[in-house]
Amino acid sequence: MSFDNAYESLLGHDDSHWAFGTGFSEALAGVNREFPAGVDTADLAAYCLMLGDDALIFSQRLSEWCSRAPELEEDIALANIALDLLGQARLLLSRAGEVLGKSEDELAYLRDEREFRNVHLAEIDCGPGPGGDFGTTIARLLVFSSWRLALFSRLRGSADPVLAAVAEKGLKELAYHRDHAAQWTVRLGDGTEESHRRMQAGLERVWPFVDELFATHAVEARLTGVAVDPASLRSEVDGVLDAVLSAAKLSRPADTRAARVAGMAGRDGVHTEAMGYLLAEMQHLHRSLPGAVW
Amino acid sequence: MTTALEVASAVRDPELPVLTLADLGVLRDVSEEDGRVVVTITPTYSGCPAIDEMGADLRRSLLAAGFSEVEVRLSLSPAWTTDWISAEGRSKLAAAGIAPPARIGPVAAGPVPLNLVPPSRQVACPQCGSPNTSEISRFGSTACKALRRCHACAEPFEHVKEI
């Protein structure tokens, strides 16, 4: 074997080991991908986008904390949680992409704001930038992971084999995320006067976005046996949140509801002001350099 | 001649190179279909970036061993659990200074119970063997590891956390 230059000798006969994401990038290669009988595949794609976008957008928000968290271990923890959610997003967007004829990257980077189906809780700006706070980020992580864990627990029984498999796998990850948020909530809520105040303020900031999590969308209502009706999760999630808040000596904020636009919110592609800025940062590289891969 | 299974079983994990993919329990199946080797692997975590590397390593090793065509497939269900790390794999981890996971059994159906107090599993220090250790961070250098410290020998160590 002879090589013309040093790089060739490094490459050997296969260059696929040069970067993550090359050579084996199809997220669902070999997974049972049959569509369940009688399911409307357009609805299934929309539902996969909902759950996938929740994970993708919240993952982007969490990764903003990398190098900005209060301590090194927390940088790593939030980045690990973001990575788990990004993995869930890849699988779910790939599933949607099978119906829509698009790749996961096209869905993540080339859709515009109105085409994203995530809940507002995933997109609002809780820091580390101006106006944000670590307490608010923990409050959001607590609510989001408690809700998604309850959802995935039921989604294990979905008639769609991909959704059931994603849920079975993601369930264990989300249990770690929820425990992490719950332990921080107790530490901060039952900590100093300052940490208590900021944790309570964090809850007040995210609470108006809780109601949307449990509102049944028409797509979810139509996908009987495939989707989970989020309204059915409310009492379980409330029980978990109450247990954490009580241990943390925090009070549950009054039930307020963020405004909708003509009855529509994130699931309909109607987003808050924060979403455009988030997408600009997340998508600009791919859009500036079309076809670029790592 | 070396079989495809033997070649695939010897490929090491890119992030825990003391283990083979077989020790780790992510190598689910190796078979031959129409003259092509089909290898099925499962990710440890949904977002594990090493999964692409594993696929590339398997393909490279099998091609180098003389198999002309290799396909790597991904399996999501049943979901990987640390219970699939072999007894040999657990010994290799401990020998490398990484505490192996405890056995946890299957995940129950129904709601997942909330743990406000971290589980008080005893994790022995892989350096000195003392059971007097505590968790520094649930999340470590890779998705699958937590960071702990030993109060007897004062050394920090990694622990493959149960999932």
Do residue A76 and residue B136 have CB atoms under 8 angstroms apart?
no
| Chain B positions in Cβ-Cβ contact with residue A14 (cut-off 8 Å) | 56, 59-60, 63
Lowest mean pLDDT among A164-173, A238-247, B32-41: B32-41
Q: Give the residue with greater pLDDT, A173 vs B49.
A: A173
- Residue pLDDT, tens place only, A259-291: 888 889 999 999 999 999 999 999 999 999 987
Which residues, in sequence order, are CB contacts of B23 under 8 Å at separation 6+? B13, B85, B86, B88, B89, B92
| Mean pLDDT value of segment A189-206 | 97
- For the segment B10-42, what is each residue's pLDDT rounded down to a tens digit? 999 988 899 999 999 999 999 988 779 999 999
Structure pTM?
0.90
Amino acid identity, position A257: R
DSSP state of A96: H
Q: Are A144 and A58 in contact (CB under 8 A)?
A: yes
Taking contacts as CB-CB distances below 8 angstroms, the residues of chain A near B81 are 172
Cβ-in-10-Å burial (0-12, 13-18, 19+) of A213 comes to buried
Q: What is the DSSP string of B24-47?
A: HT-EEEEEEETTEEEEEE--SSTT
Of residues A255 and A274, more confidence is placed in: A274
Q: What integer pLDDT is reported at residue A21 of this predicted model? A: 38
What pLDDT was estimated at residue A111?
A: 97
The answer to whether the CB of A23 falls within 8 A of the CB of B56 is: yes
Would the pLDDT of A7 be above 50? no
Distance from CA of B57 to the nearest CA of A (A): 7
Mean pLDDT of B132-143: 86
Question: Across-strand partners of B31?
Answer: B38
Give the model's pLDDT for residue A26.
62
pLDDT at A13: 47
Question: Residue A4 has what pLDDT?
Answer: 54
Residue B60: list chain A partners with CB under 8 A: 12-14, 16-17
> What is the ipTM for the molecules in this complex?
0.89
- In this structure, what DSSP letter does residue A21 have? T
State mean pLDDT over A65-85: 93
Mutate one of B12, B27, B46, B70 to test the A interface: name it (highest A CB count within 10 A): B46
Give residue B137's pLDDT.
86
**What confidence tier does A19 reach under pLDDT thresholds 50, 70, 90?**
very low
What is residue B120's predicted lDDT score, i.e. its pLDDT?
67
What residues 164-183 of chain A have any CB closer than 8 A to a CB of chain B?
164-166, 168-173, 175-176, 178-180, 182-183
Q: Name the more confident of B1 and A128.
A: A128
Report the range of poorest mean pLDDT among A149-153, A187-191, A276-280, B35-39. B35-39
Mean pLDDT of chain B: 90
Residue B92, CA atoms < 13 Å, CB-side half-sphere: 16
pLDDT at A15: 45
- Among A12, A164, A236, the residue with its CB nearest the CB of B77 is A164
Q: Please, are residues B133 and B123 in contact by the beta-carbon 8 Å criterion?
A: yes
